[in-house]
């Protein structure tokens, strides 16, 4: 009896298994049918990037212009992951003690990066192409619509390689004339000072550079302490941007129209070419000025060891009174809170100066290009990424924390019938300067400023507009202009008796020198001269800093003499002779560009 029950039980179990299998088959068929009708049984939650590129990858980006290193963070990282299923690892020579050595070491290894952002002039692209380190994008341009749009610019800048091809994509491509200023509000190089303190000390006239010292001294005495109670200095310097010379001194030389290239300076208006060490050069004048400023107690004593990001924090705190550039002083300090207190940075006119500004670059800038490594991981994905950078979405996402591009549509701005307008979020970060505002939906590093693109790369010039005619730069929008009218700007206009933006006013007053946006191919420096140049460069930079912080005039002059003697022994004269021949060729092209303007 028990055996019969057991057989019956086994039979029932077998029947149940058959019914379960049948149900599974029916369910699978139903799911298949629904999927075929466009109604998926299980929702596909993969991102656009995961669908197209199933494997997550990390790419190395060698970026000569990045100010942070390591993995890209925050909302821009999330955007790149969602679209391309990849993350960016930034290699930033700017953040190394010897960035040049980092470049040479990686280049010698045969792999500079999956993506490379660097200049292509001065023989750089020629070397990389000869060594087989960058991809020729020629076969891919026609299948990538945004790169195809700039095919001519890509091919022209790639001529720096010495051969035909499409090796590099230039930045800041413009549709405007090369002889017109690319800046729209403030010149790139000008004295930007705390206007409220300048007003307090009575708007003293500044006829020449050296007149700044007593004026800034009075302003520093008025300021006393920063917002956080720290000491205030007129100048806070940094050395991580030093290249062929002390960069901050070069920024002062630019107030008189000189552009520093290697060990030479060129003024495109006068045609004057100076070497840095020649008697009465603008570079030595700038060093002397900074020495005198330090003697007067106007230079932050931490300048010798700090980097740009430290100075930026001090600027935001109100601990610095002079800014070399508008995107430092105005962008970092002129928050809504400060402006409500009638505090802010503005441009100062030095009567005998002619501030260097940059012409538009119809062909893009060879000083900053993006390239794909020949042995890069997943070239197709990187081509898609670079193509995206030149799309409206990519362009608007490339901005810095406080300036230039407009940010992602829907987050920082919206398109309305009255034109583009900042959202509440956009107004908070761009007008009120609350760059620590968190982006909703970003769990790791949600702050706006932390999440902005670390590439420090501008695909198109700031004047450019999208297909609907909306400027990529929000500072050109009427909505932004209306929201940023302040007592500081009104007082500035009243003082100079103008209703123009500062760049238009200074141009009218004859205080601007425009460097036409043309590029030229220089000869590659021979290896033996490169060795001399590197030795001279380090000595020049080190001595320049020592001179600024010399104990007294006697030590300053001694250091200047030592610097000159050492540089000459290291081959300085041989290097500048080569550089001078290149600068003469450059000057000829600049003059040709200017003649086109004068004749029109």
Q: Are 50-178+362-406+447-473 and 192-358+485-599 in the same CATH fold?
A: yes
How is the chain split into domains, by residue range?
Answer: 1-43, 50-178+362-406+447-473, 192-358+485-599
Question: Torsion angle, CA of 339/342/343/349, rounded to 10 degrees?
Answer: 110
pLDDT (tens digit, 0 to 9) for every residue of the chain, 600 residues total?
433 444 444 444 444 344 433 433 344 444 444 444 444 556 777 888 889 999 999 999 999 999 899 999 999 999 999 999 999 999 999 888 777 888 888 998 988 999 999 999 888 999 999 999 999 999 999 999 999 999 999 999 999 999 999 999 999 999 999 999 998 889 999 999 999 999 999 999 999 999 999 999 999 999 989 999 999 999 999 998 998 899 999 999 999 999 999 999 999 999 999 999 999 999 999 999 999 999 999 999 999 999 999 999 999 999 999 999 988 988 899 988 899 899 999 999 999 999 999 999 999 999 999 999 999 989 999 999 999 999 999 999 997 765 679 999 999 999 999 999 999 999 999 988 889 999 999 999 999 999 999 999 999 998 899 999 999 999 999 999 888 888 999 999 999 999 888 999 999 999 999 999 987 777 888 999 999 999 999 999 999 999 999 999 999 999 999 999 999 999 999 999 999 999 999 999 998 887 744 343
Query: Count of CB atoms within 10 A of residue 134's CB?
Result: 26
Encoded tokens for 490: 């009104």
Which of 488-513 are b and which e, b meaning 16 or more Cβ less than 10 Å from the residue's Cβ? bbebbbeebeeeebbbebbbeeebbb
**For the chain, how many helices (H) and strands (E)?**
24, 16
Q: Which residues pair with 116 in a beta bridge?
A: 62, 371
Q: What are phi and psi of 318, to 5 degrees?
A: 80, 20
- Tens digit of each residue's pLDDT (9 = 90 or more) over 486-502: 899 999 999 999 988 89
E-strand ranges in 159-249 read 169-171, 192-194
Using only the alpha carbons of the chain, give its radius of gyration: 29
CATH superfamily of 50-178+362-406+447-473: Periplasmic binding protein-like II (3.40.190.10)
38 sits in the region (left: phi over 0; alpha: psi -120 to 50; else beta) called left
User: Are the C-beta atoms of 413 and 406 separated by less than 8 Å?
Assistant: yes
**From CA 423, how far away is CA 411, in angstroms rounded?**
7
Model confidence, pTM: 0.74
Q: What is the pLDDT of residue 42?
A: 61
Pick the CATH number of 192-358+485-599 from 3.30.1360.40, 3.30.230.10, 1.10.340.30, 3.40.190.10: 3.40.190.10
Alpha helices in 401-522 (DSSP H): 424-430, 448-451, 478-483, 487-496, 502-508
């Amino acid at each position: 009896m028990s055996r019969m029950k057991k057989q019956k039980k086994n039979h029932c179990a077998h029947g149940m298994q058959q019914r379960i299998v049948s149900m599974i088959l029916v369910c699978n068929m139903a799911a298949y049918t629904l999927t075929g009708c466009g109604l998926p049984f299980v929702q596909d939650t993969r991102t656009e990037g995961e669908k197209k590129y199933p494997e997550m990858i990390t790419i190395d980006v060698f970026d000569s212009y990045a100010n942070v290193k390591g993995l890209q963070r925050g909302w821009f990282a999330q955007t790149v992951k969602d679209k391309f299923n990849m993350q960016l690892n930034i290699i930033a020579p700017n953040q190394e003690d010897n960035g040049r050595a980092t470049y040479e070491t990686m280049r010698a290894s045969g792999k500079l990066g999956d993506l490379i952002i660097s200049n292509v002039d001065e023989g750089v692209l020629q070397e990389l192409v000869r060594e087989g380190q960058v991809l020729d994008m020629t076969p891919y341009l026609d299948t990538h619509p945004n790169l195809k749009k700039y095919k001519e610019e890509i091919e022209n800048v790639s001529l720096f390689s010495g051969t035909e091809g499409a090796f590099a994509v230039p930045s800041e491509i413009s549709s405007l004339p090369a002889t017109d200023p690319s800046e729209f509000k403030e010149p790139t190089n000008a004295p930007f000072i705390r206007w409220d303190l300048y007003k307090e000390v009575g708007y003293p006239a500044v006829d020449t550079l050296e007149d700044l010292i007593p004026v800034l001294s009075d302003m520093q005495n008025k300021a006393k302490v920063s917002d956080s109670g720290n000491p205030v200095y007129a100048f806070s310097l940094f050395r991580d941007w030093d290249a062929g010379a002390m960069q901050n001194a070069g920024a002062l030389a630019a107030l008189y129209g000189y552009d520093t290239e290697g060990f030479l300076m060129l003024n495109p208006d006068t045609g004057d070419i100076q070497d840095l060490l020649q008697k009465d050069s603008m570079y030595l004048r700038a060093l002397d000025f900074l020495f005198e400023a330090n003697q007067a107690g106007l230079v932050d004593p931490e300048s010798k060891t700090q980097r740009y990001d430290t100075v930026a924090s001090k600027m935001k705190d109100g601990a610095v009174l002079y800014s070399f550039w508008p995107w430092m002083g105005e962008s970092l300090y002129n928050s809504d809170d400060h402006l409500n207190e009638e505090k802010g940075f503005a441009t100062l006119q030095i009567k005998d100066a002619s501030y260097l500004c940059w012409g538009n670059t119809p062909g893009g800038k060879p000083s900053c290009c993006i390239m794909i490594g020949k042995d890069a991981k997943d070239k197709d994905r990187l081509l898609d990424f670079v193509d995206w950078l030149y799309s409206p979405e990519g362009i608007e996402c490339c901005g810095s924390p406080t300036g230039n591009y407009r940010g992602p549509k829907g987050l920082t701005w919206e398109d309305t019938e009255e034109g583009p307008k900042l959202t509440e979020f956009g107004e908070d970060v761009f007008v009120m300067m609350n760059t620590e505002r968190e982006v909703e939906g970003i769990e790791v590093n949600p702050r706006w400023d932390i999440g902005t693109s670390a590439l420090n790369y501008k695909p198109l010039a700031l004047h450019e507009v999208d297909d609907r005619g909306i400027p990529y730069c929000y500072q050109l929008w009427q909505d932004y202009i209306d929201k940023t009218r302040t007592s500081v700007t009104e007082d500035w206009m009243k003082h100079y008796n103008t209703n123009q933006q500062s760049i238009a006013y200074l141009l009218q007053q004859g205080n601007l020198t425009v460097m036409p946006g043309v590029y030229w191919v220089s000869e590659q420096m021979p290896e033996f001269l490169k060795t001399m140049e590197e030795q001279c460069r380090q000595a020049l930079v080190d001595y320049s800093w020592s001179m600024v912080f010399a104990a007294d005039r006697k030590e300053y002059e001694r250091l200047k003499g030592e610097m000159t003697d050492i540089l000459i022994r290291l081959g300085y004269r041989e290097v500048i002779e080569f550089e001078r021949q290149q600068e003469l060729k450059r000057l000829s092209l600049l003059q040709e560009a200017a003649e086109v303007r004068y004749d029109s």
